[in-house]
Structure 1
Amino acid sequence: MTNDHILYLLQLASPALPVGAYSYSEGIEALVDIGTISNAQSLQHWLEQELRYGAIRLETAVMVRAYHAVQKKDSEALSYWNSWLSAARETEELRLSSWQMGRSLVKLLLQLQPQVWPLVETLEPCNYAIAFGMAAASWEIEPLLSVVLGYLHTWTTNLVTAGVKLIPLGQTAGQQLILNLFPNLMNAATAILALSDDDLCSCSWGLSLASMAHEIQYTRLFRS
């Protein structure tokens, strides 16, 4: 990667990016509430399984396809994968969070890179993975493996931060957990890049049940 590519990726993967990711727990709030996740070890186990089998693999694979579609200026493929990912979201909560974050990132991208408008004008609502892939391709960030790692690291950091607040954990424990997951991030990124369209699947019924439980949870700190 060039220095410019590194800086663009750091900005895109930054917690300071104004997309509202910090307000979502992706099921962790419900899992902490019922005791399935109660410490750093159980949170790490959950995230390891999500990286290996869960919806984040599917989401990241679609982000890769959005990246390629922008490179080819293929708005039809971009629209197809955006609709495909919306249909693949298991609950309304997960779908709405993806749309909200995607809308926020598209709004930012249009201010920073107005030339992408012809590609995004038909994407309403736009999923976050699609918007992330568009931004990465527009900024010509490469290699693609680094883009995938950036996306997965952002997801991991957001959920570890949610766990630190909910369980609760200390900040040092949270940082150690992220470091522990580095091999899982690399393995997931390599596997995702090798997926063909026919291999796009996930085992995320646990996430679905946890997400649905938020609707009847007595107290909540997060939007999901």
Structure 2
Amino acid sequence: MELITLTNFHFLSILQLASPALPVGAYSYSEGLEMLVENGTINNSNNLKDWLEAELKYGSIRMDAAVMIRGLQAANLGDWEGLKRWNLWLSAVRDTEELRASSWQMGRSLLQLLTKLAPSTVPLASAVGYPCNYAIAFGIASSHWQINHQAALLAYLHSWVNNLITAGIKLIPLGQTAGQELLLESQALLSDTMLEILALEDDDLAYCSWGLSLASMQHETQYTRLFRS
């Protein structure tokens, strides 16, 4: 893999954008994991690792990440119509109400934060309109801070894995060390997934994530919940 080189400014910017402390509410979503733990499908670190690997290889996170890159490219070019088109496209392919709502809520929160930190991004945010998916908002932010495609994509994927591992630690439950082991073991797959996503053409955007879809649908009526999805 080609070495990613970043200036200190770019490196710190992408760390801030992918930080768990970013106030977008990512911590409140488990993306169906809560249902999978309750029904016994996932009950240890090995099950969770298998689930994360399957989602990275075949699931909707690949599509989200690919659209994020297209949002970044459109923002770089000032292609407002392209941003709007990809945002609408991503909303249309969501499988469940919970997954769509979480993407919209996080996208709205990130755009609100971004426009306060960088008022020059207001025209781009306005062009996308509401609701805005999180992937699109992340792409706009990456474009504003001039983050290269590889770094932005790795950060996006890493923050997704980190969030679900954190949810798994609470739900299964797992120890903090086990969670960090899973995060470390995911590095090679994250790198491979990044390269595969960068090579995808528009007509190749597809995913197989029926397990996530079913878990998300069931989670909507789950009696006791810690998470919003």
TM-score range, shorter chain: over 0.9
Q: Write the distance in 2 (CA, Å) between the matches of 1:110 and 1:120.
A: 8
Structure 1 segment 147-162 matched on structure 2, within 5 A: 147-162=152-167
* Counterpart selection for 1:75 from 72, 77, 80: 80
Q: 2:100: which partner in 1?
A: 95
Q: 2:140: which partner in 1?
A: 134
1:117 aligns with 2:118: no
Q: Write the distance in 2 (CA, Å) between the matches of 1:90 and 1:218.
A: 21
Q: How many residues align?
A: 223
Shift of 1:216: 2.1
* 5+ residue gaps, structure 2: 1-5
1:191 aligns with 2:196: yes
DSSP-derived class of the 1:169 partner: coil
Q: 1:168: which partner in 2?
A: 173
Equivalent AA in structure 1 for residue 204 of structure 2: D
Q: 1:218: which partner in 2?
A: 223
Q: 1:104: which partner in 2?
A: 109
Q: Write the distance in 2 (CA, Å) between the matches of 1:112 and 1:45.
A: 38
Q: Write the distance in 2 (CA, Å) between the matches of 1:216 and 1:147.
A: 35
Conserved 8 A contact 2:107-2:136: yes
Conserved 8 A contact 2:32-2:219: yes
* Counterpart selection for 1:12 from 17, 20, 25: 17
DSSP-derived class of the 1:58 partner: helix
* 5+ residue gaps, structure 1: none
Shift of 1:76: 0.1
Q: 2:27: which partner in 1?
A: 22
Q: 1:55: which partner in 2?
A: 60
**More moved, 87-96 vs 109-118:** 109-118
What TM-score does the superposition give when structure 1 sets the normalisation length?
0.98
Q: 2:49: which partner in 1?
A: 44
**More moved, 72-81 vs 120-129:** 120-129
Q: Write the distance in 1 (CA, Å) between the matches of 2:118 and 2:93.
A: 29
Q: Write the distance in 2 (CA, Å) between the matches of 1:120 and 1:145.
A: 23
Q: Write the distance in 1 (CA, Å) between the matches of 2:220 and 2:160.
A: 22
DSSP-derived class of the 2:220 partner: helix
1:108-133 CA distances to partner (integer Å, 9 max, x unpaired)?
01001111111111420000000000
Percent identical pairs in the alignment equals 62
The alignment yields a C-alpha RMSD, in angstroms, of 0.6
